[in-house]
Structure 1
Amino acid sequence: MSTKNLIIAFGGVSPEHEVSVLSAIQAISSMENSQYNLVPLYISKSGKWFTGNQLLELETYKDLSLLEENALQCAFVKDDIGRTHLKQQNSSGLFSKPKSYPVYAVVCAFHGSGGENGAFQGICDFFNVPYTGSDVLASSLGMDKVKAKQVCVANDIPVTDSLDFYESNWETDQETIIKEAEILGYPLIVKPCSLGSSIGVAKATSKDELINAVEMAFRYDAHLLIEEAVHPLMEINCSVLGTAQECRASVCEKPLGTTETLSFKDKYQSGEGADKGMASADRVIPADISSELTEEIRELAIRTFKTFGASGVARLDFLVNAETEQVYFNEINTIPGSFSFYLWDKSDISFKQLIDELIEIAIQNHQQKNGRVQSYETNLLNEKAVKGIKGLKGIKN
């Protein structure tokens, strides 16, 4: 394959749609002078797949309705020899032929449900194409805050006490849930189970605030998590790059917010250049904490990354009691905003080098997977065909 077509996949049916677009455009900008032919794969809020050179520019996303009218729909297809292509499904001219791009690798720049949760990774696995980031299992575990905490508890990774419940539980047994939550003690943090970017997250200091926070969070998810709040709180984040077999940690950061719990606005609409995604947020890098605490968090970040079986680049977020310096795992972001390049930049790795390494890891993971036995040679169906359909009745599960 003389031209290496690098598919940048982003957008998606998610409340974090716009954040994904920002991360993708940043990655595209960093790779403009690379060896790759950059091909955008934008998934709209309605779930349609689009491509076209105009999708490489941030200006295009000012009017999403107009974008859908002008962009070209596309899909993954297999050619006659089994290679996966990203193929345009329509063309602009009467006699023009829809373009088709053999896929070298896919850079996943999704955030939130429908892209960071393993769903798109499953599509890539089905079409047998290399993709950056974690696999289906690690992605889905990382997105599910309840399952993530259960994995941590099983592996002695410290987490805050919590309870979880579904909307149906809330409708039938609200008072019991409130009583169980109050045993944890106010203030409490209410979170949707499967969202990021602090969307739907609220702090409650009373029963009324708790009820309001729960009702608001149910707008985004049917499964909620209530956690005890860490106070006084200091948030420290650390990125990890590599595979579950071999990885390394970045410097730590201390995000700064207008409230003790960072909001969506703090993360994406603060600081200078708010169109830069997570890179625009106010933060201290390296975090102004002791060297002992820094190393503890970096080591815990690596251990957690390996425990989840993550791959590529992830950001591990930790809650720290500012007085006792007790550290608690908060969440793993398997596709972090802006790919956490601002942390690796402080670790002497440029954004382009970061994306290059993510692609290299993706290719290695893909080669290792395809080096295994993919089918089991047997004449089972031939034997069953001889016996006919009646012979299948004797098969037991």
Structure 2
Amino acid sequence: MSQKNLIVAFGGVSPEHEVSVLTAIQAISALESSSYQIIPLYITKSGRWLTGEHLLELSNYKDLPTLERKTEDCAFVKDENGKTFLKEQNVSGLFSKPKNFPVYAVLCAFHGSEGENGAFQGVCEMMNIPYTGSSVLGSSLGMDKVKAKLVAAANGIPVTKSVNFYESDWVEEQDGIINVVEDFDYPLIVKPVSLGSSIGVAIANDRTELTEAVETAFRYDAHLLIEEAVNPLMEINCSVIGTPDDCKPSVCERPLGKTETLSFEDKYQSGEGAEKGMASADREIPAQISDKLTTKIQDMSVKIFSVLGASGLARLDFLINSNTEEVYFNEINTIPGSFSFYLWEKTDLNFTQLMEELIQIAVKQHREKNGRVRSYDTNLLSEKALKGLKGLKGTK
């Protein structure tokens, strides 16, 4: 029996590009002894789609121009029967012939922007191929911190007080925005609405720091969020796997950084071996918290995963008042760094098993979707029907 082609998609036009590469290579390594033939789909920082065996080695990414020259442009295409392939394009060489790879499933390993916000997922939907992770809607909701918190709050999940605004609002109403958020009292947390990996996130202890943090965050996103700080703070994370109607939580973790609010450096450049991605960060697993608090966070994680319509695997991040044990939903990561495999290793799945389960969830959901009616036979475009539509010309 021939191997099934698993397309591992990663990179992208995103500030989290390098983190995505790390996550993808980790997943590829975990699947090297699987039954799948791994086909890399690397989207460059300029948006080119590339494939080729050189993309399978992390060391090759030290020199991106050389790597791009050694790989082939590619795209999803359909044949006359509607079957989708990843096809090489513009292959050089007199006797070279572009390769076509029938797509069994796509493993999405993007972080941020068009890879995680539902845009790439929409491409997969249009090409009718299975893909891991959340749907277009679940992905876009998860990427937008404001919308995710609104949905969570509407379903009884506590969130911190916050104000969100666009760059044009800041230009016109800066003093008014500052006056509102100062009612929360300092320190305040400034965040880009649609980025992860703590990029652009800052703690402001006074008005000067707040203004500087906002101006810096606008370099990454046109939509910002300012939140009240939880004090004293303890961060607790939990991963969830499954579908909106059938999912389960992992053990909880407590990330450990220089401060309770983790920076990009804490997440990816601490510990030993930054090439391990999120797995290199210092953390306490399972989190040394009470059984009651653990259960509460796990239950909230499952509920949020479900109401946001998430699928596959996600990581839910929470802010805890360590004195009162009040819990606030912070954000959901629909494609978490390193796929949060370190949480599942302490639960009941090793990295390889985790990837296998993710792929099977994707294939099952795709099969169920295609098992439903996806077209409606009608004679609307028949000659008789078209005559009846002539009176609609010029109307709206």
Normalised-by-shorter TM-score class: over 0.9
Q: Is the aligned partner of 1:45 residue 2:45?
A: yes
CA distance in 1, matches of 2:152, 2:242: 20
Matches for 1:47-86 after TM superposition, within 5 Å: 47-86=47-86
Q: Is the aligned partner of 1:91 residue 2:91?
A: yes
Matches for 1:226-237 after TM superposition, within 5 Å: 226-237=226-237
* TM-score scaled by length of structure 2: 0.98
Who is 2:354 aligned against?
354
* TM-score scaled by length of structure 1: 0.98
Matches for 1:333-348 after TM superposition, within 5 Å: 333-348=333-348
Matches for 1:148-297 after TM superposition, within 5 Å: 148-297=148-297
After superposition, give the CA deviation of every residue in 1:337-389 in whole Å (9 maximum; x if it has no partner): 00000000011311110000001100011011111111111111225774298
Letter in 1 for 2:342: Y
CA distance in 1, matches of 2:164, 2:127: 36
CA distance in 2, matches of 1:341, 1:392: 57
After superposition, give the CA deviation of every residue in 1:135-164 in whole Å (9 maximum; x if it has no partner): 000000000011011101111111000010
Who is 1:20 aligned against?
20
User: How much does 1:51 deviate?
Assistant: 0.2
Letter in 2 for 1:241: I
Who is 2:131 aligned against?
131
* Matched residue SS, 1:177: helix
Question: Conserved in 1, the CA contact under 8 Å of 2:26 and 2:276?
Answer: yes
Identical counterparts, % of pairs = 70
CA distance in 2, matches of 1:165, 1:205: 20
CA distance in 2, matches of 1:388, 1:148: 46
CA distance in 2, matches of 1:383, 1:326: 66
CA distance in 2, matches of 1:152, 1:384: 50
Who is 1:32 aligned against?
32
Matches for 1:92-131 after TM superposition, within 5 Å: 92-131=92-131
Question: Conserved in 2, the CA contact under 8 Å of 1:384 and 1:391?
Answer: no
CA distance in 2, matches of 1:73, 1:380: 41
* Matched residue SS, 1:251: strand
User: How much does 1:255 deviate?
Assistant: 0.2
User: How much does 1:390 deviate?
Assistant: 4.1
Range moving further from structure 2, 372-381 or 41-50: 372-381
User: How much does 1:67 deviate?
Assistant: 1.6
CA distance in 1, matches of 2:173, 2:244: 41
After superposition, give the CA deviation of every residue in 1:86-114 in whole Å (9 maximum; x if it has no partner): 00003243112100000000000000011
Question: Conserved in 2, the CA contact under 8 Å of 1:245 and 1:306?
Answer: yes
Range moving further from structure 2, 352-361 or 374-383: 374-383
Question: Conserved in 1, the CA contact under 8 Å of 2:379 and 2:385?
Answer: no
How many residue pairs align between the two structures? 396
After superposition, give the CA deviation of every residue in 1:262-291 in whole Å (9 maximum; x if it has no partner): 000000000011110000100000001111
Letter in 2 for 1:226: I
CA distance in 1, matches of 2:333, 2:185: 28
After superposition, give the CA deviation of every residue in 1:145-192 in whole Å (9 maximum; x if it has no partner): 110111011111110000100000101111001101111111100000
User: How much does 1:78 deviate?
Assistant: 0.4
Question: Conserved in 2, the CA contact under 8 Å of 1:41 and 1:51?
Answer: yes
Question: Conserved in 1, the CA contact under 8 Å of 2:54 and 2:70?
Answer: no
CA distance in 2, matches of 1:339, 1:107: 11
CA distance in 2, matches of 1:105, 1:357: 13
Letter in 1 for 2:202: A
CA distance in 2, matches of 1:74, 1:313: 27
Moved over 3 A (4+): 383-386, 388-392
Letter in 2 for 1:109: A
User: How much does 1:247 deviate?
Assistant: 0.8
CA distance in 1, matches of 2:34, 2:392: 55
User: How much does 1:395 deviate?
Assistant: 5.3
CA distance in 1, matches of 2:36, 2:287: 35
After superposition, give the CA deviation of every residue in 1:26-71 in whole Å (9 maximum; x if it has no partner): 0000111110000000000000000001101101111112222221
Question: Conserved in 1, the CA contact under 8 Å of 2:192 and 2:223?
Answer: yes
Range moving further from structure 2, 349-358 or 60-69: 60-69
Letter in 2 for 1:164: N
CA distance in 2, matches of 1:184, 1:379: 61
CA distance in 1, matches of 2:253, 2:8: 27
Letter in 1 for 2:216: M
Question: Conserved in 1, the CA contact under 8 Å of 2:204 and 2:210?
Answer: yes
CA RMSD across the alignment? 1.3
* Matched residue SS, 1:338: helix
1:395–1:374 CA distance, 2 compared to 1 (3 A):
farther
* Matched residue SS, 2:115: coil
CA distance in 2, matches of 1:52, 1:241: 30
* Matched residue SS, 2:381: helix
User: How much does 1:309 deviate?
Assistant: 1.1
Who is 1:372 aligned against?
372
Question: Conserved in 2, the CA contact under 8 Å of 1:240 and 1:302?
Answer: yes
CA distance in 1, matches of 2:117, 2:207: 32
Letter in 1 for 2:306: K
